[in-house]
Amino acid sequence: MAPKKRPETQKTSKIVLRPRSKRSRSPRELEPEAKKLCAKGSGPSRRCDSDCLWAGLAGPQILPPCRSIVRTLHQHKLGRASWPSVQQIGAGGSITGLKFNPLNTNQFYASSMEGTTRLQDFKGNILRVFASSDTINIWFCSLDVSANSRMVVTGDNVGNVILLNMDGKELWNLRMHKKKVTHVALNPCCDWFLATASVDQTVKIWDLRQVRGKASFLYSLPHRHPVNAACFSPDGARLLTTDQKSEIRVYSASQWDCPLGLIPHPHRHFQHLTPIKAAWHPRYNVIVVGRYPDPNFKSCTPYEMRTIDVFDGNSGKMMCQLYDPESSGISSLNEFNPMGDTLASAMGYHVLIWSQEEARTRK
C-alpha cells in the first residue's frame, strides 16, 4: 500500500515579483527583472546546526560560485601542465555513471550507453571491461563500487543488475526490475546492503548474501512515478529517493515500509535533460537538489528560477536556495567534496563550484 502523504506544514520559498508601476508589463519586460531576483528563505526557523555549512544562509541568496577552484587546485599540484581530459566515445555513447577507483585515484569506473561498464585511466586507456552487452539495444545506466568488499555493481536498461568483484569475475547477473535500473547504491557502512531504483516505480533493498532471484529482495518501496535515484546517507541509516516528477522521500533503516518524510519539489523528467538526483551532505543531515520549475506544481510562481535547493533532512523544510545569475541552467547533479565545504553543480556544459569561503566574502 502506498504511504500516506505527509501534510505540508510549511510552504517552500517563493520568488516575489514587484512591478515598479501599476502598468501591466509583458513577459519580455519582466524577464530581466525576474532573472535578477533571488529565491527567499523563510528566516531563522529554516536553519540547521550552527556549525553546518549552510547555517545562516536562509533568506535571499545570490552566491557567485568560484569557477576557478578546480583549475587552481590542478595548477597547484601539477603546475602549468595541460588540463587533463577523457577521450570521447562519440555520438550515442554518453556516460551514465562515474566512480573514481577507490584504490587508485588516477583511474575511474564508467558505465555508458555504448554497452559497457569498464575501468579506465585519464589517458583513455581501458584497463578492464567488467560488463558488455554486445548489442546496441542494451546499455548500462548505473554503477557503484565498494573498496571494502572489493565489489562492482552495475544495472542496465532492461532491469538486470550484475555483481562482480574488482578482478572482473561475475558473481551473479539477475533481472531485479521490470524496467531500466536508473540507480544502484551500496551502503557505505554495510557493503552487503544494496539499493536499486528503477523506472518501474520501485526502489528495492537487497542483502547481497541472500540474493537468489528477483523475488529475494528484503523490501520493495513503491513510488507514484519512475525513480531517478536512491542514495544511502553517509552513516548508512537513511535512504534518499528522487522520483521523476515532484517528490523526494527519506526512508529510515528502522522502518523501510514507510518514509520518514515526503518533500514536494519540482524536478520533472525531460527526455533531453540529465535526470535530476537529490544528494546528501557528507557530514550533516542536509539534502541538496536542483529545481526545474513546473507551472503545474502547486507553489509555482511566475518566472520561478532554476535554483539549487537545500533542505533539512530531518524536518524536510527548505533552508536556502542557491542561484547564480550568470548560469541560469538546470542543475541536474550536485555533489559535495568529502569535507562538505564545497559543492559542485553540473549544469549542461558548465560545472559550478560553490565555496563556503566565497559565500562568506560576498555576504
For the stretch 156-215, pLDDT in tens is 999 999 999 999 999 999 999 999 999 999 999 998 999 999 999 999 999 999 998 888
Q: What local confidence, expressed as pLDDT, does residue 171 receive?
A: 93
68 pLDDT above the threshold of 70: no
The four Cα atoms 149, 122, 113, 183 give a dihedral, to 10 degrees, of: 40
Q: What is the DSSP letter of 6?
A: P
Q: What local confidence, expressed as pLDDT, does residue 47 receive?
A: 35
Q: What is the pLDDT of residues 220-267, one digit of tens each?
A: 999 999 999 999 999 999 999 999 999 999 999 988 888 999 999 999
Question: pTM for the complete prediction?
Answer: 0.75
Between residues 15 and 265, which one has the greater pLDDT? 265
Give the CATH class of 96-222.
mainly beta
Q: What local confidence, expressed as pLDDT, does residue 197 receive?
A: 97
Q: What local confidence, expressed as pLDDT, does residue 212 receive?
A: 87
293 pLDDT above the threshold of 80: yes
Question: Which of 207, 209, 157, 165 minimizes the C-alpha distance to 183?
Answer: 157
Check if the beta carbon of residue 115 is closer than 8 Å to that of residue 132.
Answer: yes
Q: What local confidence, expressed as pLDDT, does residue 77 receive?
A: 45
Q: State the average pLDDT over residues 65-91.
A: 48
DSSP element (H, E) containing 136: none
82 pLDDT above the threshold of 80: no
13 pLDDT above the threshold of 50: no
For the chain, percent of residues with pLDDT exceeding 90: 45
Domain ranges of the chain: 96-222
Q: What is the pLDDT of residues 37-57, one digit of tens each?
A: 333 333 333 333 334 444 444
Please provide the average confidence, as pLDDT, over all residues in the chain. 78
Q: Helix H segments across the chain?
A: 27-36, 69-78, 356-361
Strand partners, 239: 232, 251
Q: What local confidence, expressed as pLDDT, does residue 74 receive?
A: 43
Q: What local confidence, expressed as pLDDT, does residue 183 receive?
A: 96
* Cα distances (angstroms) measured from residue 9 to each of 2, 261, 318: 21, 12, 12
Q: What amino acid occupies position 23?
A: R
Reported as a pLDDT band with limits 50, 70 and 90, residue 84 is low
Check if the beta carbon of residue 175 is closer than 8 Å to that of residue 160.
Answer: yes
What is d(CA 62, CA 325) in angstroms, rounded to the nearest whole number?
A: 7
Q: What local confidence, expressed as pLDDT, does residue 134 receive?
A: 87
Length of the chain: 363
Q: Strands, DSSP E only, in 25-113?
A: 95-101, 104-112
For the chain, percent of residues with pLDDT exceeding 70: 72
Q: What local confidence, expressed as pLDDT, does residue 136 receive?
A: 85
Q: What is the pLDDT of residues 312-361, one digit of tens each?
A: 999 999 999 998 888 888 888 888 888 888 898 888 777 888 877 655 54
Q: DSSP 3-state helix, strand, coil percentages of the chain (rounded to 5)?
A: 10, 35, 55
Q: What amino acid occupies position 60?
A: P
